[in-house]
Every structure is written in C-alpha cells, then in structure tokens.
A and B are shown apart, each in its own frame.
Chain A
Amino acid sequence: MTGLPLLVVVVVTALAFDFTNGFHDTANAMATSIATGALRPRVAVALSAVLNVVGAFLSLTVAATIAKGIVDQDVVTLSVVFGGLVGGILWNLVTWYFGLPSSSSHALIGGLVGAVLVAAGASGVEWAGLISKVIIPAVIAPVAAGLVALCGTWLVYRITRGLAGAERGREFRLGQIGSASLVSLAHGTNDAQKTMGIILLALIASGELPQDAGVPDWVVIACACAIGLGTYLGGWRVIRTLGKGLVDIESPQGLAAETSSAAVILVSSHFGYPLSTTHVASGSILGSGVGRRTPVRWGTARRMVVAWLVTLPAAAAVGASAEAVSRALGAAGNVVVLVALVLAATAIYLRSRRAPVDRHNVNDEWDEQAQRPAAPAMA
C-alpha cells in the first residue's frame, strides 16, 4: 500500500491510537475522585473528557515530529509510523485488559523503535536519547511524584488533625475535583498534540501539505474528539486499579495526590524535562498512601512496575513485526497488518466482556487474591 490509501490508513490509525490514549489515561486524573466519591463515575469521565477536548484546543504549538531525538527522523516513513502506531495501540489494549496503568507515550515510542530497527537497523535509533529522554525519566517520575504526594498528604493530615469529619469534608472534595481537572487539561494538551504531530508529519511526508505547514483545523478537531471520546468511555479497568487496587483513598489524600501530579507534570515540562502522566499519577497515589501511613498493596505496585518495564520491548516487538510484515509482503503488507490489528483488538475486547469492569462495579472492594492468577499471564 502506498500513496493516498496508506496516508488514510495512517491517519485513521493515529486517531485510533489517540482514542486508546484517552481511555487508558482517564484513570490518571479521575481514579482518585471516583474512588472517594467526590464525583459519580459517569460525571467524572464526562468532566475529564470535556477537559481533554478543551486541552487539545489550548495550544497550537504542534511540531511535525515524532519521537525526535529518539529515532532518526530521516528513516521515519509512513510505513514506520504505521508500525509504531500498531505497537502502541496493541500494548495499550493489552495493559488495559489487565487493568495496568502503563504509559501511552512509552507504548508509542516502543512501537516506533521496533519499526525503525527493522527499517533502518540499530543505527536508526538514537540510543542515548532513548535512555536520557525515555528510560531514566520513567524511573524518576514515580519517585519524584511519590515524594511530593507523600509530603503533601502528610502535611494535609497534620494540619487537619483533630477536625471532625475533615476526611469527608465538602471543601476537600471540591479541591480534589479542581486538582483532577487540571491534570485532565494538561493531559489533553500534551497527548492530543502528540497525535496531531504524527498526522501532520504524515501529511507532509506524503506531499499533501508543504514542509512548513501548520496543523490543519480538521486535524485538531479530529484529535480532540478522538481523545475526548476515549476518555469518556473510560478505561474502567485501569481506573479501578489506580483508585482501589493500590491504596484506600480519602478525599484529602486524593487532593494531595492530584495536586502533586499536576505540579510535577507542569513543572517538569516547564524545565524541559517532561515526565509521563501515567508514571507521575501512579507514583503520586502510591506516595499519598505512604504519607497517610495506610497499607499499600505492593502486589499491585509490583505488577505495575513490571508492566512499565515490559512496555518498551513489548510494543517494540509488535512494531518490528508490523514493519517486517509490511516489508516482506510489499504492497499488501500494510493491509495484512491492519487486518491483524483489527482482529487482535476485537479479540481483546471480546475477552474483556467475560469479566467486564464498568461504572457500576468500578468501586467494589479490591480482592487481592483474585488478582494473582492474572500476574503470571501478564509477566
């Protein structure tokens, strides 16, 4: 597949990735508000969806680059982008099935690295960039966010000690909603822009737009809608893990966790050291549990860390396979990969229906025993 058909497939796949990005990451902003009852589940995902859409329109500094400084921009063809997107989407769906919050950006970068390895060999990957921009920040993000949330939670509980009903206070619930909203807004701005950049790059690479073109309105609108729709459908499995599976969350603690997330995300991008929303949010929630001195379910935390470690290589394997198939089969290759992607996505969705998690059971008591059988299958 070449020319216009391939371009159309890449654009549609990019929007599909944007969609999975939205529903996978709803939890980052809203898991704590849903767990404490500050917002009813459906209201929470609707609010987050609207803010993601608004966030997507907030800034127009979209760059026509993809994983710049991580892969050699000259070897990024439409086929490579397609392979990367396939890797990102599949890994997002697999981790969603297991209810594991893993970074959508990592999944996309992993897929791209895999596709580039097949397309251009090891020299197409800027390994130093991969380590300094992707791997090390992934280690630092949860630790830094956890530390901030730990201090914030400890301070909040120290200051409000002895107040009757402080834990359930209306003020804390309002503050929690406010801080979670800021995380949603930042997510929409950051992540929708990534997809806009991919589509812009594809349009330029295929000659549909001049080299210096800005992002067309329809791209902004399509990306905003895709991430918003994904967010609204809500990755309930991931929301459940972050809201109930890690620590038991009260409103003051949720406020501290979400404020920590928002602060770390905004401050790190300000200093040119952007950190993954998912890693930050997970670290914050964990840190808030430690700060309140409540038991942390380390089993859940361990599964999350394993998922983070596996994300890059797993998505890379899928991306590499997609690119290899595309190359081996020539013109029909991309079509085969597309069909395989649709079949795999459908299979994962159908399997998830056997034990669905939705807004009705998202807050049910967490049963650690029931989680264990899933661990070997994932690892």
Chain B
Amino acid sequence: MSTYIDVDALTKVVLVSLLVGAGIPAVFALGVRALAPVEGGTSRSGVRVGAAVLCFAVCLAAVAYGVYRLVATGGH
C-alpha cells in the first residue's frame, strides 16, 4: 500500500492539521471565555481583555498566514 500512499506527507498533513485546525478554535474559545463576565465580578479586568485580544490576534494571524500561503503558492 505504501506505493500508493505517501505516508510521510500524510502523517504531516494530519498532525499539522490537528494542531492548527483544532488549536485555533480552542484559542478562539479561550478568547471568548476571557471576555465573558466573571461570576461575582462587575466589570472586565484589563488582564482578561488583554488575554482575549491576544487570543483573537493569534486567530487573525493564522487567517492572514493562510491567505499569504494561497497568494504565494496558488494553493498548490
């Protein structure tokens, strides 16, 4: 079967996809969590807002890198 399957490329595809494809939504969710009102607290603290901004910035950077890859390689 290995003549038909590029095991090396496939392993990389699955691992990197897992890291990015599951990691970015998780980072996004952390951002949402940071922005959510805390029980008992009345206002959002600066630290939490900063953490949220950082999380969303990571997600935006990932999207920007995706677009860059498309432009640079044509998706090939």
Contacts and interface: CB of A to CB of B under 8 A. Distances in A.
The answer to whether A binds B is yes
A190 B16 CA distance: 20
Contacts of A163: 32-33, 36
Given A263-B20, A264-B13, A159 B33 contact: yes
Contacts of B3: 128, 132
A171 B16 contact: no
B47 interface: no
Given A59-B73, A132-B4, A171 B25 contact: no
A182 B63 contact: yes
B29 A160 contact: yes
Given A61-B74, A144-B17, A263-B21, A273 B6 contact: yes
Contacts of B29: 155-156, 159-160, 252
Interface residues of B, dominant DSSP: helix
Interface in A293-326: none
Contacts of A98: none
Contacts of B35: 171
B75 A190 contact: yes
Contacts of B73: 59, 61, 269-270
Interface string A273-291: 1110000000000000000
Interface string B42-76: 00000000000000000100010011011101111
A267 B17 contact: yes
A140 B26 CA distance: 24
Interface string A159-193: 11001101001011001001100100110011001
Given A59-B75, A185-B70, A271-B9, A147 B32 contact: no
A131 interface: yes
Interface residues of B, number: 38
Contacts of A151: 18, 22
B74 A128 contact: no
A378 interface: no
B63 A267 contact: no
Interface-central residue, B3, B23, B66, B75, by most chain A CB under 10 Å: B75
In this complex, the interface size class of chain A, counting residues with CB under 8 Å from chain B, is 35 or more
A153 interface: yes
B74 A193 contact: yes
Contacts of B63: 178-179, 182
Given A59-B73, A152-B25, A189-B74, A159 B59 contact: no
A193 B75 contact: yes
A178 B59 CA distance: 10
A60 to B, nearest CB: 7
Nearest to A62: B74
A148 B22 contact: yes
12 contacts: A58-B71, A58-B74, A61-B73, A132-B4, A136-B5, A156-B26, A182-B66, A193-B74, A270-B16, A271-B16, A272-B6, A273-B9
Interface of B: 3-6, 9-10, 12-14, 16-18, 20-26, 28-33, 35-36, 59, 63, 66-67, 69-71, 73-76
- In the A-B complex, the 3 residue pairs with the closest CB atoms: A59-B74, A263-B21, A152-B22
